[in-house]
Structure 1
Amino acid sequence: MNWKTELPLIAILRGITPHEVHTHVQALLDAGFDAIEIPLNSPQWQQSIGDMVQTFGQRALIGAGTVLQLQQVEELAELGSKLVVTPNTQPAVIACAVQHGMTVCAGCATASEAFNALEAGAQALKIFPSVSFGPDYIKALKAVLPPQIPVFAVGGITPENLHLYLAAGCVGAGLGSDLYRAGQSVERTAQQAAAFVQAYKEATR
């Protein structure tokens, strides 16, 4: 499996600001996370991603989500981003990120999109929005995908339903609003991070 973290849970910090990002990422790393995604529709994302790569880049796979354009990939490469997560399947964007040495988790919903992403070089896939499709759909899709490709469930994943998606064949999940909502306290982030880590450990014993 070509996935470069110990814990296959991606923390999605949508809406986080540069002045608060350090404390939230620290809380996530303390809980055991080692993959951090800062979506590009967050305020001043260049500063947040650049700072986090500089501060925590040796401890975690840090990069961007909602990556849609080639120019964004070039900016991320300059910042030292190691992770690119897309909501869709854009072969040119995926290929560009791979050429820059980044780990790409490409968003897809169908077999055609999944195989297009893999052909472009994506090392992992995210089924989005997972809660809308459900575990049975993902299990069926997994049956036709190469078994070594890590598949992540993203969209609507909670500590309570995570085990269903792991049982369906997902290696892990991308965690959005149930882990972090813009403006929430660091204490809340730490609490939810611990809940997700515990849920993952219980489901994979």
Structure 2
Amino acid sequence: MGVSMGVMDWLGRCPLVAILRGVRPDEVEAVAEVLVAAGIVIIEVPLNSPDPIASVGRLAARFGDRALIGAGTIRRTEEVTAVAEAGGRLLVTPHAAPDLVRAAKARGMVTMPGFFTPAEAFALIDAGADALKLFPAEAGGPATLRALRAVLPGEVPLLPVGGVDAGNLAAWRAAGAAGYGCGSSLYKAGDTPDAVAAKARALVAAL
């Protein structure tokens, strides 16, 4: 339960998860700086970004005491190892992969695997997942999250990812979301730190 409390501590500071898909190592620190300044302290670098392990390493070295840094789009055990060795403490997957959850938990990482059905959710919970990422969230909308929330254990945080923006945060919250994964509504490849800062402020204000 201790690590699960850790997840809630981070989400309590700010329930937004920044998904920096496409970010480069030479720009990732400047982008993260404006996110942390806006109060966003959970940052994920998807592995389909340029040299993502280098970005995770840079973020962990600079923000590891102030933010929960990790990687997303993780699909293999060796990727879990690489992220952990770079200093990443957060595992996010696009799919329901109990084996990856167990591998990450063995390394003391916080896990936020993806799911879409109750069967997937319970398999991930049994594997020790700290939080669950409803993905692709826009395919079901808040009504799907509300229905899932009714059957899943109340202490397991659910976070919609996909199509989440400042305009629909309230609807997701009403449906039972404990946090929100924000990709293009927060960062698109090539965005300047100033552009990201403006989007971050808008999302934090919408909370």
Given the two structures, how large is their TM-score scaled by the length of structure 1? 0.96
Quote the residue 2:158 is aligned against. Answer: 151
Aligned to 2:85: 78
- For 1:93 and 1:103, locate their aligned partners in 2 and report how far apart those are by CA, in whole Å: 12
After superposition, give the CA deviation of every residue in 1:109-167 in whole Å (9 maximum; x if it has no partner).
00000001111111000101111101011100110000011100100001011110011
Paired AA for residue 78 in structure 1: E
CA distance in 2 between partners of 1:18 and 1:76 (Å): 14
Which digits, 9 at most, give the CA deviation of each residue in 1:182-202, with x for residues without a partner? 0011111001101111111xx
Q: How many residues matched?
A: 200
| Structure with the larger helix share | 2
Given the alignment, which residue of 65, 90, 99 partners 1:92?
Answer: 99
Q: Deviation per CA, 1:5-28: give whole Å up to 9, x if none.
A: 111110000000011101100000
**Per-residue deviation, 1:46:** 1.2
- For residue 174 of structure 1, report the CA deviation from its aligned partner: 0.4
In structure 1, the gaps of 5 or more residues are: 201-205
Query: Matches of 1:115 and 1:193 in 2, distance apart?
Result: 33
Distance 1:172 1:46 in 2: 25
2:64 alignment partner in structure 1: 57
- Find out whether 1:178 has 2:178 as its counterpart: no
- CA shift for structure 1 position 34: 0.6
Structure 2 stretches lacking a partner, 5+ long: none
Aligned pairs for 1:106-121 (under 5 A) are: 106-121=113-128
Residue in 2 that maps onto 1:35: 42
Alignment-mate amino acid for residue 16 of structure 2: L
Q: 1:125 aligns with which of 108, 132, 135?
A: 132
Structure 2 Cα separation of the partners of residues 23 and 194 of structure 1: 16
> What amino acid is the match of 2:74?
V
Counterpart CA distance in 1 for 2:95 and 2:53 is: 21
Distance 1:17 1:80 in 2: 17
Matched, 1:26 2:33: yes
Percent same amino acid at aligned positions? 44
Q: Quick check: 1:69 aligned with 2:76?
A: yes
C-alpha distance in 2 between matches for 1:40 and 1:34: 19
SS of match in other structure, 2:151:
coil
- Which 4+ residue blocks in structure 1 deviate beyond 3 angstroms? none
> Per the alignment, in what secondary structure is the counterpart of residue 133 of structure 2?
strand
Amino acid at match of 2:29: H
User: In structure 2, the residue corresponding to 1:192 is in which secondary structure?
Assistant: helix
Q: Corresponding residue for 1:203? A: none
Deviation (angstroms), 1:65? 0.5
What is the alpha-carbon distance in structure 2 between the residues aligned to residue 124 and residue 51 of structure 1? Answer: 25
